[in-house]
Amino acid sequence: MKSASPYRIPGLELIEHTFELPLDYARPEGRKIEVFVREVRDLDPKSKDKPFVLFLQGGPGFRAPTPVDKEGWLKRALTEFRVLMYDTRGNGLSTRVDPQSLAAEGDAQQQADYLKHFRADNIVRDAEAIRAELSPGVPWSTIGQSYGGWCTTTYLSLHPEGLKECFVFGGVPGLDRTAREIYEGTFPFVEERNRQYFAKFPMDKARLAKLSRYLLDHDVRLPNGDRLTPRRVQLLGLNLGFAGTAEGIHYLIEEAFIKAGDREVLSQAFLKGMHAALRFDTNPIFAILHEAIYAQGAASGWACDAVHREKYPHFDNYEDFQFFGEMIFPWMFDEIGELRGMKDAADILAAYDGWPALYDKDVLSRNTVPVACAVYYNDMFVNTKFSRETIDFIPNVKAWYTSEYEHCGLRVGGEKILSRLIDLARGEVER
């Protein structure tokens, strides 16, 4: 472990830790990667003696939050913890997966073999190796946001001895649910979110149909050179899973066209906005491993694409435009420039059927770690039915079911929700 000298920002003290860990825990003496953790304390002199809480980020494919001030869930956490902002392998300041670094791994098979090491099982193994350095012999608490809840459940399966208590925000997985079942359960939520969007902004139906016709008839390029297609516009629907984002999509769509002499063309503001709205270029793990996070002993098989083609082909009717949700399709690796070089590796991963189990139901059936979960009825990303199956199966898991928040509860109500989950886990409030 290498630790930098502490430094301060308003109200917070930060310490940066870097760990050298095995790429493959089956070959611990082999290739190493770096994993970065930022320790966050408040300025109370006693903070260095507080226990740790490890933050498990959503995604997959995103770095931990970068602290700016002592607000929201962080404010509540710091009253009794030192918070570890954990850049999971492949992300942030850890050994990173991006188009340049992945290309350096070699051919498509070598890239795919490398990426097989970047799922929740190894995220948890890294966490335990870090705990052995920072909190030897002492279990710690965790906060899991979205995919961080998937990682929490894997943690409870592989290393429950490392956990004191767990708090999960909108991220309880279905233990046996396949990638196909996930998307069969997701599409109806996305259809409902489309109904809500167009009820609020009915004028956008015609605007999006017009935009789609224009894009089919013209070779329109985004600032990075990619051709903009109607289905690329459909990907904006990913943002509909968060409160307050429908308005941003609406305002982007309304400025799509401008007059250039006697012609209508797409505005530069719209094209720049489209390019900035989606982050597949800077967070490729989100795309290339998205379906793999559900795979256990079977291939994911481009499950979302199969469900779309077989059961929801009407999404291809651009005259009755509908947005997609949190969905990854093989055509994205043709149309998104930064993903194009990963296409063959993505196909290999989609066909791979040797994924190990992420959840041990025997271990989970004997769980003694207190776990408290916030489950959002209006969550477009996580199926409440599948979450309830898992919550009902694992002992010592308590859930707070609420329609007050969408998937962004941690962001918009984090202090309140974390306080409730802490009390729930410790038996101080009822469900």
pLDDT, residue 408, reads 85
Q: Which of 53, 49, 40, 44 is nearest to 6 (CA)?
A: 40
Query: Which residue type does 221 have?
Result: R
pLDDT, residue 242, reads 86
Q: Phi and psi of 274, rounded to 5°?
A: -60, -45
Percent of the chain at pLDDT above 70?
Answer: 100
State the helix-helix crossing angle for 246-254 and 179-200, rounded to 10 degrees. Answer: 60
For residues 384-392, average pLDDT: 97
Question: Which of 301, 322, 351 is the C-terminal boundary of a domain?
Answer: 351
**265 and 124 belong to one structural domain:** no
pTM for the whole structure: 0.96
Answer yes or no: is pLDDT of 429 > 80.
no
**162 and 48 belong to one structural domain:** yes
| CATH (domain of 146) | 3.40.50.1820
Residue 430 lies in a domain: no
**47 and 141 belong to one structural domain:** yes
Tokens of 366: 């004997």
Please state, in angstroms and rounded to a whole number, the distance separating the CA atoms of residues 332 and 346: 11
**311 and 338 belong to one structural domain:** yes
- For 237, which DSSP code? G
pLDDT, residue 431, reads 62
**45 and 164 belong to one structural domain:** yes
User: Domain of 36?
Assistant: 2-175+359-425
Element (H, E) at 412: helix 409-425
Q: How many domains does the chain have?
A: 2
| β-bridge partners, 338 | none
pLDDT, one tens digit per residue, over 257-272 is 999 999 999 999 999 9
H-type alpha helices, 90-177? 99-103, 108-115, 120-134, 147-158
Tokens of 359: 């959840």
Which of the four pLDDT bands, split at 50, 70 and 90, describes residue 216?
A: very high
Q: What share of the chain is helix, strand, coil (3-state, %, to 5)?
A: 45, 15, 35
Question: Which of 331, 351, 371 is the C-terminal boundary of a domain?
Answer: 351
For residues 145-149, average pLDDT: 97
The residue that leads in pLDDT, 50 or 430, is: 50
Half-sphere CA count of 267, side-chain side, radius 13 A:
11
**11 and 122 belong to one structural domain:** yes
Q: Whole-angstrom distance between the N-terminal and C-terminal Cα of the chain?
A: 40
**Tokens 């224009």 sit on residue:** 214
